[in-house]
């Protein structure tokens, strides 16, 4: 039995020093909306505000511009939530007395790019932000990795849209973190540079079937630990635990599995496998009775489906706990 301090998931970043750069944090993340009926990736019992108070700090938001209105979409499936409602929820969380010292990384991606031009979509995002609560002041829009103290009470834009940056102050340099490349479903992952930070990214989502779950877990969790190359450049790791393909690897099957795998009947999902690996890594500190500062240095921005399931997985609390391990000798 392993015992960990119970962290306040609604405000855990308040315990982290202001000087900490965000590449040195473990930020649990999620696909923000449901993806139903075929590609459901979150439970309807966990709307956005529930996700945030449960420890989610990175959001993957997919939008489509439909008749001039930005709505949450997952591929071609409408999720019915207007972007303005999303902005209202973000503002409510970031201005709450409990969570006003938190920050959120908000990835925004266009889904209906075949029907709506990139510039038109980008301008609609800016329009809604200006109209929404908090306006532009709620957002960190510099294209770099900030320190935590710079972004408390703010959302950090992670723009997977934007064309050439038309309409935004400073163009692409004024749209938050803006990836220079994002190859589709690259199995071995990819890297890109951001103002002197190396960004390692794993987003292999189109797996052949549920038989690929073990390989998916191996590749995605390999991003949690520091690079074996021991480079001096700051490194940010972004890894997606989510994956899907139809019909043999729906998001539900991939994340939670099916059957009774403990008894040899069924398949264990990604979430419980990731939780077990995190427990194994964190238990090394307990076994050695070492100072927490000497524990494993697990750092990444992670995104997952059905983040509360299965009920005994506890992935988010474990990822949160990683922020308080392995800090000895860090230099910022």
Which runs of consecutive H residues, i.e. helices, occur in the chain? Answer: 48-53, 83-95, 118-131, 148-151, 213-221, 251-256, 270-288, 315-321
Is pLDDT of 4 > 90?
Answer: no
267 and 206 within one domain: yes
185 and 43 within one domain: no
Is pLDDT of 92 > 70?
Answer: yes
Q: Is residue 6 part of a domain?
A: no
Name the residue range of residue 328's domain: 179-332
208 and 156 within one domain: no
Give the least confident one: 48-52, 151-155, 285-289: 285-289
**Residue after which a domain boundary falls, among 145, 163, 178:** 178
**Residue after which a domain boundary falls, among 138, 157, 178:** 178
- For every residue of 20-49, DSSP letters joined together read -BGGGSEEEEEESS--TTTS--S-TT--HH
Is pLDDT of 39 > 70?
Answer: no
DSSP β-ladder status, 26-31 and 58-66: parallel
Residues 6+ apart with CB under 8 A from 77: 35, 36, 37, 38, 39
Is pLDDT of 146 > 60?
Answer: yes
pLDDT of residue 297: 87
Q: Is residue 4 part of a domain?
A: no
**Rounded to the nearest 10 degrees, what angle do helices 213-221 and 270-288 cross at?**
40
Is pLDDT of 332 > 60?
Answer: no
pTM, two decimal places: 0.92
154 and 138 within one domain: yes
Q: Is 279 in contact with 318 (CB distance < 8 Å)?
A: yes
Is pLDDT of 309 > 90?
Answer: no
Mean pLDDT, residues 223-233: 79
Number of domains in the chain: 2
State the CATH number of the domain containing residue 116. 3.20.20.190
Q: What is the DSSP letter of 202?
A: E
pLDDT of residue 185: 96
193 and 288 within one domain: yes
| Residue 310: cis peptide before it, omega within 30 degrees of 0 | yes
Confidence of residue 127 (pLDDT cuts 50, 70, 90): very high
**Residue after which a domain boundary falls, among 178, 199, 219:** 178
Confidence of residue 35 (pLDDT cuts 50, 70, 90): very low
Is pLDDT of 243 > 80?
Answer: yes
73 and 39 within one domain: yes
20 and 114 within one domain: yes
> Nearest Cα to 271, choosing from 203, 213, 205, 226?
213
Mean pLDDT, residues 174-185: 97
Mean pLDDT, residues 103-116: 95
């Amino acid at each position: 039995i392993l015992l960990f301090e119970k962290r306040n998931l609604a405000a855990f970043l308040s315990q982290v020093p202001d000087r900490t750069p965000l590449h040195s944090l473990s930020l649990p993340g999620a696909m923000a909306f449901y993806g139903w009926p075929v590609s459901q990736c979150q439970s309807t019992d966990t709307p956005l505000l529930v996700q945030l108070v449960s420890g989610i700090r990175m959001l993957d938001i997919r939008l489509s511009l439909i008749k001039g209105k930005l709505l949450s979409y997952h591929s071609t499936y409408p999720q019915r939530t207007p972007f303005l409602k999303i902005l209202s929820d973000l503002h409510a969380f970031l201005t709450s007395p409990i969570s006003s010292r938190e920050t959120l990384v908000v990835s925004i991606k266009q889904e209906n790019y075949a029907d709506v031009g990139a510039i038109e979509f980008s301008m609609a995002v800016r329009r809604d932000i200006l109209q929404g609560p908090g306006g532009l002041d709620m957002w960190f829009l510099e294209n770099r990795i900030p320190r935590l103290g710079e972004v408390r009470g703010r959302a950090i834009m992670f723009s997977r849209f934007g064309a050439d940056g038309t309409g935004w102050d400073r163009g692409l340099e004024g749209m938050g973190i803006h990836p220079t490349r994002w190859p589709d479903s690259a199995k071995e992952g990819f890297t890109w540079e951001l103002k002197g930070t190396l960004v390692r990214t794993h987003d292999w989502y189109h797996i052949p079937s549920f038989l690929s779950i073990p390989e998916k877990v191996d590749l995605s969790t390999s991003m949690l630990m520091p690079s074996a190359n021991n480079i001096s450049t700051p490194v940010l790791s972004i890894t997606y635990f989510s994956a899907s393909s139809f019909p043999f690897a729906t998001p539900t099957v991939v994340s939670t599995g099916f059957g009774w795998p403990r008894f040899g009947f069924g398949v264990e999902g990604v979430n419980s496998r990731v939780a077990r690996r995190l427990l194994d890594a964190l238990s090394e500190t307990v076994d050695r009775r070492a100072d927490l500062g000497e524990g494993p240095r697990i750092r990444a921005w992670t995104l997952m489906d059905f983040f509360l399931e299965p009920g005994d997985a506890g992935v988010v609390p474990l990822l949160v706990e990683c922020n308080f391990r392995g800090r000895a000798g860090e230099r910022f």
